Amino acid sequence: MSAQLESARLDAQAGILARFGKAFDQAQVALEKRVADPMMRKMAAARIALEQAVLRTALEKGVKPELVAGALTAAKPEQQADLVRHGQAALARAYGVEPEMLVNVLAAKVVPVEVPKGFASNPEFDKLIDGARAQVTTLMQASYMERGKFVDLGDRANVTELAKSSSVQKERSELAARVAFIDSAIDAAVTKGAVGAEAAKMLKERVEAFIFEPRPPQSLQYSEKFKTFYASEGKVLRAEVMKEVRQVTQSKTIQEIGAKVDAAMKQEPMRRGPELER
């Protein structure tokens, strides 16, 4: 299981995203003549796409389709609209950051994740954390290099521009998505009764610290310049990513829809798909 979790997460994420994009386009076309208001058409297409994407992915994972479909359609239209709003900015940019986070939140409910208990750990979480750590180093590399280039000129605006560059933005989105997946998996474990609420809170704090608080080798030291840089830019990155993650995972609507998916999963324990049996 441990070796397969990362691929299962990415598989679920890719499945939902790919289908969401395709289904969204198809729904837009299908609704062209039926819905006059372009904004309403966009919203309706997004609802249809999201439902279809999550449903198909859940099917692929072996959950009875009617249970997940039921969970989704049981959500009120305004909840669905709220859900879609979380991905609205990204919808405009052809499904960027936020839908990725969103699907990771949902993927954590269809991919079985064993959450560490107490102060223990497990290979699944270790792998997710190591992946996130690597992403933080890449983001800091990009930022630090650019800082070295521009700081002497006193041109902080260029650093901001860099943060918006596509590769950096992609890395940042993937980091947020990964953290959202972890957060959501912990929430799912609480719902299933596998972890208590207080333990889950502590676990989330530990995971956040693992990802963002560097532990250099005892025998080596960072330069003072780098320490100052990370104390500032690392803190900003952490705050922004965690804010983004919590906005999605703590959204009332997403929690309610997630609870419905959890309830469906409880009624019909997931049969592992072939990709998890390998």
Residue ranges binding other proteins (CB under 8 A): 2-3, 6, 119-121, 123, 126-127, 130-131, 133-134, 136-138, 140-141, 144-145, 206, 210-220, 222-223, 226, 230
Q: Residue 41 Cβ, how far from other proteins at the closest point, in Å? A: 40
Q: Residue 82 Cβ, how far from other proteins at the closest point, in Å? A: 34
CB 83 within 8 A of CB 248: no
Indicate the helix (H) or strand (E) that contains 119: none
Q: Residue 242 Cβ, how far from other proteins at the closest point, in Å? A: 16
CA distances from residue 65 to 130, 136, 259 in whole angstroms, order as listed: 34, 37, 17
CB 194 within 8 A of CB 202: no
Q: Residue 238 Cβ, how far from other proteins at the closest point, in Å? A: 12
Nearer to other proteins, 3 or 236 (CB): 3
CB 53 within 8 A of CB 12: no
Residue with tokens 């049969």: 271
Nearer to other proteins, 20 or 125 (CB): 125
Number of CB atoms found within 10 A of residue 275's CB: 12
State the Cα–Cα distance between residues 92 and 90, nearest whole angstrom: 5
Nearer to other proteins, 9 or 19 (CB): 9
Nearer to other proteins, 159 or 259 (CB): 159
At how many degrees (to 10) do helices 197-212 and 123-150 cross?
Answer: 40
Nearer to other proteins, 49 or 140 (CB): 140
Q: Residue 59 Cβ, how far from other proteins at the closest point, in Å? A: 26
Structure tokens belonging to residue 216: 């250099």
Nearer to other proteins, 163 or 254 (CB): 163
Structure tokens belonging to residue 262: 């959890």
Q: Residue 200 Cβ, how far from other proteins at the closest point, in Å? A: 17
State the Cα–Cα distance between residues 193 and 190, nearest whole angstrom: 5
CA distances from residue 228 to 137, 145, 224 in whole angstroms, order as listed: 16, 14, 6
